[in-house]
Amino acid sequence: MSLASFVPFALGLSLLAATSTPPVAPATPRPPAPWRQATGSAPVERLAGRWVLDSAASDDIPAAIERTVAPMNFVTRPIARSRLRTVNRAAPVVELRLRQDTVETVWAGGPPARARLGGPPAPYRDRRGEDMSYRASARAGAAGPEFSETYQPGDGSRTNTWTLSADGRTLTVAVEVRSPQLPDPLRYRVVYRRGN
């Protein structure tokens, strides 16, 4: 090939390369939100929203505390009773909010607790200024979605397990408080109705 014919040929190749569209990689489908992955066909989105306390349908929390501290001796019993009563009160309103990759709970207008659903514990400071960790998870339960949140200050923990009625109008929160100082965990249930 002569130089005279090579120049237009090379120029044509460079123009072709400049105008051709590079191959586009197929779009990677965006994974579903973590709460949908965790719960499959029973998405935890059904639990989201504002919930109002139904005190008549809820357990008697002071009575549950008394049953828990009853085996303790006369020195430690009043201390444990006072502490448990301070941190175990039925919130009049609770909210569950879902973001793209996080879940947020707000109890009675207190500071929101946020964490990635199924992710590592996140730092949280409660309304009394106590620092702790907060962890959230979800799964498909026998009757529908179950959302679980655990607050861990020091060596104790409080786990709230949220379940929804079949009609989606009643939320039951099963509370379990554990501490090395307690003979057995404190357990009770609080019932909420869907609010506006």
The fold of the 34-194 domain, in CATH, is: Lipocalin (2.40.128)
Whole-angstrom Cα Rg for the chain: 27
Return the percentage of the chain with pLDDT > 90, whole number: 63
* Residues in the chain, total: 196
Distances (CA, A) of 192 to 58, 87, 110, 114, 184: 8, 19, 17, 21, 26
Q: Average pLDDT in the 140-163 region? A: 90
> Across-strand partners of 103?
98, 115
* DSSP state at residue 33: P
69 with 80: CB under 8 angstroms? yes
pTM of the model: 0.78
Kind of pairing, strands 170-178 and 186-194?
antiparallel
